[in-house]
Amino acid sequence: MIELIQKTTANLRTEITSGITVALALVPEAVAFSFVAGIDPLVGLYAAFMVGLITSIFGGRPGMISGATGALAVIMVSLVQEGNAMGLAMANPVVGMGLYYLFVTVILMGCFQAMAGFFKLGKFIRLVPHPVMLGFVNGLAIVIFLSQLNMFKTVDGGVSVWLHGPNMLTMLALVGTTMAIMYFLPKLNRQLPAALTAILVISFITIVCKLDVPTVGSFIRDGGGEGLGGVLPSFQLELFSIIPFTLDTLIFIAPYAFLLAGVGLIESLLTLNLLDEITETRGNSNRECIAQGCANIVTGLFGGMGGCAMIGQSMINVNAGARGRTSGIVAALSLLCFILFASTYIEMVPIAALTGIMFMVVIGTFAWSSLRIIPKIPRSDAFVLIAVSALTVIFDLAIAVFVGIIMSALVFSWENALRIRARKHIKENGTKVYEIWGPLFFASCQAFTSKFDAKGDPQNVEIDFMESRVSDFSGVEAISTVIEKYQREGKKVMLKHLSDDCKKLLNTNNSKYQALIIEKVDDPRYFVIADRDLRD
């Protein structure tokens, strides 16, 4: 009992310290993404709090952190701009109407995500091949790295310019010190949280030495914000009076909502899979879809910009040893406390400390092993891996993953199309037998039909599908084509060992084929994986 209490206490301490560290890292990220979307920083901070809290409690992956993300912010830019233009074009112009359109879109986005979970569509994340997963991880690591380079810039005359001279050297020194603390501290003492210790040490150094370095507060003000302080998020009652709920409004927001829902679920479920591999546990993808959807519905109603899983903050959390829901709840509540009570102190935290932490996240996130295995894996997989990484950086996560899946599917289809074989032999009674090997589907139909010699074959032909699987309607049509060729030559074809579904399709397609099927008691019974799971 004593050992159990000690272990529980240690785990709880880890969860709490990790949650506080994640909350500190969430602040500049949420603020930066708010600026990207062209909205007030508090809108992003409220989203980080609400989405983070709800998904931590109800989500399908304990330890995963959600909040406002750049992948969604990039899509929201044009939505807010078009919404503002529509507001100004009204009979009674409404300034800043794009923000209210954003809230409505986030609510609809949440509905789409919740429906995806309700109809159990989260399982389709299993269709993402491993090269696409590696490309996603590497691409996001590069995106995080590039986003942190902006922290080495300052605003001069309204223009963002690189730091130079002593300011750049000071920034580099503080970032390097942060990374050194995070690397060496766990080797010396595992009890101390490395990221939180680094933040406290760097903050102490800058305050005591009175260093003129960018802080969270200066970052917000340089972006046009007024500060971190705020009040509790409130229900947006005016939303229902400002936004005209008409068919035109639905036509305007529906494409944005669908795209945001898709990007949010893809990033969340891929992050869930990554954490599954790291923690050697398994999350619930459908439950995560529902939690993400409900979180975004609440966020939209209470004035947040919406969000999804954040791979950077999730990696900080997991690398710190957090495995439960407590860390995410602590992170969300700590963020709210920062907004309400500790904004002055949080604004004093140097950006260099948070940048150093994110650089360590980049190092830990990037799949360095992929560089070693690229020469050893098939060229098609290597190409997919590199392409997904590049597309994630150039465009966005959704495009990269969709393209990667399509490329992998085409490669798989092409390779399997070449695997169909036909072994031939003659029975004692003169019947020629074609034993088909390999999958028969749309890509292998041409190769299948080319195996037969209708004119040169004997009067009786038997086609045995014991080692083959007819996968789609194209395969059924290919069988029909072969039968018709033999019938035109006045020859008889018999089909053996067809799966039940193929028999049914043949009968539906043309009942005359029913007489050509040889029914045997040893015919195999085929099941797809989902059928086998249901049967068991």
Q: pLDDT by residue (tens digit) across 234-272? A: 888 888 888 888 898 999 999 999 989 988 898 899 889
Q: What is the pLDDT of residue 435?
A: 92
pLDDT at 531 over 50: no
Q: What is the pLDDT of residue 367?
A: 83
Per DSSP, the three-state class of 525 is coil
- Name 352's Cβ contacts closer than 8 Å, sequence gap at least 6: 151, 171, 174, 175, 178, 202, 206, 213, 214
Task: Round to whole Å and give the CA distance between 273 and 67.
Answer: 18
List own/partner pairs for 241-245 with CB under 8 A and 24 or more apart. 242/94, 242/97, 242/100, 243/97, 243/100, 243/101, 243/104
Is residue 115 a contact partner of residue 366, using CB atoms and an 8 Å limit?
no
pLDDT in tens, 224-237: 666 677 788 888 88
397-417 and 379-394 helices cross at what angle (nearest 10)? 160
pLDDT at 433 over 80: yes
pLDDT at 5 over 80: no
166-188 and 194-208 helices cross at what angle (nearest 10)? 140
Distances 17 to 24, 163, 322, 330, 333 between C-alpha atoms, Å: 11, 32, 9, 9, 13
pLDDT in tens, 314-367: 988 998 888 889 999 999 999 999 888 888 888 888 889 888 888 887 888 788
Q: How many CA atoms lie within 13 A of 218 on its CB side?
A: 15
pLDDT in tens, 92-132: 667 678 889 999 999 999 999 999 999 998 888 777 888 98
Give the pair of three-digit tokens for residue 37. 């979307």
Model confidence at 24, in pLDDT bands (50, 70, 90)? confident
List for the chain the helix, strand, coil content (%; round to 5): 65, 10, 25
Instruction: Please count the helices (runs of H) and the strands (runs of E) in the chain.
Output: 22, 9
Strands 492-496 and 432-440, how do they pair? unpaired
Share of the chain above pLDDT 90, in %: 29
Q: Specify the DSSP class assigned to residue 146.
A: H
pLDDT in tens, 282-298: 889 999 999 999 999 99
Per DSSP, the three-state class of 199 is helix
519 φ, ψ to 5°? -90, 125
pLDDT at 85 over 90: no
Q: What is the pLDDT of residue 3?
A: 54
Is residue 103 a contact partner of residue 83, using CB atoms and an 8 Å limit?
no
Is residue 478 a contact partner of residue 449, using CB atoms and an 8 Å limit?
yes
Task: Round to whole Å and give the CA distance between 507 and 505.
Answer: 5
- Name 140's Cβ contacts closer than 8 Å, sequence gap at least 6: 311, 312, 365, 392, 397
Give the pair of three-digit tokens for residue 230. 């705020």
Q: What is the pLDDT of residue 91?
A: 65
CA angle 260–65–295, rounded 5-degree value: 50
Per DSSP, the three-state class of 498 is coil
Q: What is the pLDDT of residue 201?
A: 93
pLDDT in tens, 435-460: 999 888 888 999 999 999 999 999 99
Q: What is the pLDDT of residue 223?
A: 63
pLDDT at 532 over 50: no
Higher confidence at residue 512 or residue 406?
406
The whole-chain average pLDDT of the chain stands at 84
Task: Round to whole Å and give the CA distance between 322 and 195.
Answer: 13
pLDDT in tens, 409-428: 888 888 888 888 999 999 88
pLDDT in tens, 140-190: 788 878 878 888 887 776 677 888 888 899 999 999 999 999 899 888 877
pLDDT in tens, 477-508: 888 889 889 989 899 888 888 877 777 766 65
Q: What is the pLDDT of residue 251?
A: 92
pLDDT at 205 over 90: yes
What residue ranges in 411-532 does DSSP mark as E strands?
Answer: 421-426, 432-440, 460-470, 492-496, 517-518
Residues 396-405, mean pLDDT to the nearest whole number: 82
- Give all strands of the β-sheet with 421-426 in edge-to-edge order: 421-426, 432-440, 460-470, 492-496, 517-518
Per DSSP, the three-state class of 423 is strand
Give the pair of three-digit tokens for residue 534. 């249901």
Instruction: Look at the chain and count its residues.
Output: 536
pLDDT at 528 over 60: no
pLDDT at 536 over 70: no
pLDDT at 513 over 80: no
pLDDT at 14 over 90: no
